[in-house]
C-alpha cells in the first residue's frame, strides 16, 4: 500500500535540514503501489520529484508538486558462481548498510564507497564514486517503473551511459528505480591508490573490512557528518577540462590540483579552486563553507535553502572572475518555483 502525506514539512527529508514544505509526499514499496497511487490520486499524472534519502537535494523553497519516495526494502542474492555474486537491493535500502552487508560477507567491489549518504536507488543516478571506485564498475542492472509507459522496465550495464556523476537515469526522471543489481567479487583486489588510504592502512592486513574502515576514517577526517551538520556532501562537481585548459591553468597556477587522463585532459579539484578564492571556512549567517573541506557547504542551524544557494552562486562568480572556470552544482536544486 502506498502512503500519502499532504502539506509535508521537508526539513527532515533533506540532509541540508533547511525548511520547506511539499504539497504531497507519496511513499511506495512496490511497483503496484505506484500503479495504485496513479489510479487513486488525481495529481499523479504530473511528473513527481523522486526523493530517496535527500542527501543530494537542496530545497530553495516550497515544492508545489508531489514527491515520490521509493522505500523498496530487501537485499537478496540473484546468482553466484565461484568468482562473483549478483546482489539485488531495494531502492530504499540505506547505501552504507549495503556496503556493510557486502563487507560482512567478505565480498568486494563497494568497500571504498562506504559512508556515502543516501539510498541504493540514487546510487546509479549519480554514479556515486569515491576513493578510486565508482558504482559503474559493479553495476549489473536495475528495474524501474516507467511513469510514461506505466510499466516496469529493465536496464543492463550497457544501457546505463555512466560518466562522472551522470547516467542515463539522471536524464530520465520518468524512471522510478525500484531495485538495483550489483556484481560483487568473491576475490579481493584492493584499490588503495587514493591519496591517504595507504597511510591509514599502515601494515594492517588488506581485507574488504580493513579497506572499508580506512575509507570511513578518511571520510570522517574530511567531511562533516550530516546528522550533526546539515550538508549535501560535495556541493559542486570537479570541472572537466581539456588538455589546453589544464595546461593554461597549470602555467598560471603550477600548484593547481588536477587529475589527468593519459591524453592530458582531466579534472581540476573544485575544492582547490574554491580555496584559492578564499572561501574555505567562511561563514555567512547560518551557512558557510566547511572549514575541513572547501567543496562542502553547510547549514550551521537555521539557514534557508535560498541562503545556501546564494552563497553557492557567489562562490561560482568568484571562481569565474579569478580563474575563468565555471563550477556546476553536484547537488540537485529543488522547490522555490
Q: Which of 96, 170, 293, 332 lies at the binding interface for ligand EPU (CB under 6 A)?
A: 293
Nearest-approach distance from CB 27 to ligand EPU, in angstroms: 25
Q: Does 234 bind ligand EPU (CB under 6 A)?
A: yes
Q: Which is nearer to ligand EPU, 24 or 223 (CB)?
A: 223
- Residues 253-282 contacting ligand EPU, CB under 6 A: 257, 269, 271-272, 275, 280
One of 55, 165, 167, 231 is an active-site residue; which one?
165
Place of cell 522496465: 153
Q: Which is nearer to ligand EPU, 180 or 215 (CB)?
A: 215
Q: Report whether 240 contacts 254 (CB < 8 A).
A: no
Q: Which of 131, 139, 145, 155 lies at the binding interface for ligand EPU (CB under 6 A)?
A: 131
Q: Which is nearer to ligand EPU, 78 or 200 (CB)?
A: 200
Q: Does 294 bind ligand EPU (CB under 6 A)?
A: yes
Q: Which of 330, 332, 334, 335 lies at the binding interface for ligand EPU (CB under 6 A)?
A: 330
Active site residue 234: yes
Which is nearest to 101 in space by CA: 130, 72, 75?
75
Q: Which of 237, 260, 284, 306 lies at the binding interface for ligand EPU (CB under 6 A)?
A: 237
Q: Which is nearer to ligand EPU, 75 or 269 (CB)?
A: 269
Active site residue 330: yes
Nearest-approach distance from CB 77 to ligand EPU, in angstroms: 28
Active site residue 204: no
Binding segment toward ligand EPU, per CB under 6 A, in 2-10, 30-38, 41-49, 231-239:
231-239
Q: Which is nearer to ligand EPU, 44 or 238 (CB)?
A: 238
What residues act catalytically?
165, 234, 330
By the criterion CB under 6 A, which residues form the site for ligand EPU? Answer: 130-131, 195, 222-223, 233-234, 237-238, 257, 269, 271-272, 275, 280, 293-295, 330
Amino acid at each position: 500500500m502506498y502512503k500519502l502525506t499532504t502539506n509535508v514539512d521537508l526539513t527532515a527529508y533533506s540532509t541540508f535540514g533547511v525548511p520547506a514544505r511539499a504539497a504531497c509526499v507519496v511513499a511506495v514499496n512496490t511497483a503496484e503501489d505506484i500503479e495504485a497511487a496513479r489510479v487513486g490520486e488525481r495529481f499523479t499524472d504530473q511528473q513527481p520529484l523522486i526523493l530517496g534519502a535527500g542527501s543530494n537535494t537542496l530545497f530553495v523553497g516550497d515544492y508545489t508538486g508531489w514527491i515520490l519516495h521509493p522505500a523498496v526494502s530487501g537485499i537478496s542474492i540473484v546468482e553466484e558462481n565461484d568468482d562473483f555474486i549478483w546482489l539485488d537491493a531495494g531502492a530504499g535500502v540505506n547505501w552504507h548498510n549495503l556496503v556493510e552487508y557486502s563487507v560482512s560477507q567478505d565480498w568486494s567491489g563497494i568497500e571504498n564507497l562506504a559512508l556515502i549518504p543516501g539510498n541504493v536507488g540514487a546510487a546509479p543516478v549519480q554514479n556515486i564514486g569515491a576513493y578510486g571506485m565508482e558504482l559503474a564498475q559493479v553495476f549489473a542492472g536495475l528495474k524501474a517503473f516507467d511513469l510514461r509507459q506505466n510499466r516496469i522496465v529493465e536496464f543492463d550495464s550497457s544501457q546505463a551511459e555512466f560518466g562522472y556523476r551522470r547516467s542515463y537515469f539522471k536524464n530520465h526522471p520518468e524512471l522510478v528505480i525500484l531495485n538495483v543489481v550489483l556484481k560483487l567479487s568473491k576475490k579481493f583486489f584492493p584499490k588503495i591508490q587514493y591519496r591517504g588510504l595507504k597511510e591509514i592502512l599502515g601494515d594492517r592486513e588488506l581485507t574488504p573490512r580493513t579497506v572499508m574502515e580506512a575509507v570511513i576514517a578518511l571520510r570522517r577526517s574530511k567531511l562533516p557528518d550530516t546528522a550533526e551538520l546539515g550538508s549535501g556532501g560535495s556541493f559542486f562537481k570537479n570541472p572537466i577540462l581539456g588538455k589546453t585548459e589544464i595546461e593554461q591553468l597549470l602555467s598560471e597556477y603550477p600548484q593547481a590540483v588536477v587529475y589527468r587522463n593519459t591524453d592530458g585532459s582531466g579534472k581540476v579539484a573544485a575544492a582547490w579552486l574554491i580555496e584559492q578564492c578564499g572561501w574555505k571556512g567562511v561563514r555567512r549567517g547560518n551557512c558557510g563553507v566547511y572549514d575541513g573541506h572547501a567543496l562542502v557547504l553547510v547549514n550551521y542551524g537555521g539557514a534557508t535553502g535560498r541562503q545556501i544557494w546564494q552563497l553557492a552562486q557567489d562562490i561560482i562568480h568568484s571562481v569565474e572572475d579569478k580563474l575563468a572556470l565555471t563550477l556546476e552544482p553536484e547537488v540537485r536544486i529543488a522547490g522555490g518555483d
